[in-house]
Amino acid sequence: MRRRRRRDEDVDSMIVITEDGTRLRCTISALGREDAPRWIVMDSDANQYIGPLVESGRSPDAVQKLISSWWATRPKDAVER
């Protein structure tokens, strides 16, 4: 198992505010038998979405950029209830 260095920025949960002003709570989850974890995104109405794959860069800025880009291009029927 690889140990993280203390200076590595790494988050498992955070709040992202998108360009359209939407506030999203984002957490990491491995779904079913998937090997690659995904971001699970919850909006202010408690709708949950299966978001993008988690990337190696998990600094707050990198996550903000990833989630904002995904939010802007997601299928509008992508709600996971």
CA-CA distance, 51 to 31, in Å (whole number)?
11
User: Across the chain, what does the average pLDDT equal?
Assistant: 83
Instruction: Establish if 3 belongs to a structural domain.
Output: no
Instruction: Establish if 61 belongs to a structural domain.
Output: yes
Instruction: Establish if 2 belongs to a structural domain.
Output: no
Q: Which residue has the tokens 């990833």?
A: 66
Closest CA to 18 of 36, 44, 56, 37: 44
- Considering the chain, what percentage of its residues have pLDDT values greater than 90? 59
Number of domains in the chain: 1
Model confidence pLDDT, tens digit, residues 41-79: 999 999 999 999 999 888 999 999 999 999 999 877 666
> Structural domain of residue 73, as residue ranges?
13-80
CA-CA distance, 65 to 58, in Å (whole number)?
10
Residue 35 has pLDDT above 90, yes or no: no
Cα 20 from chain centroid?
17
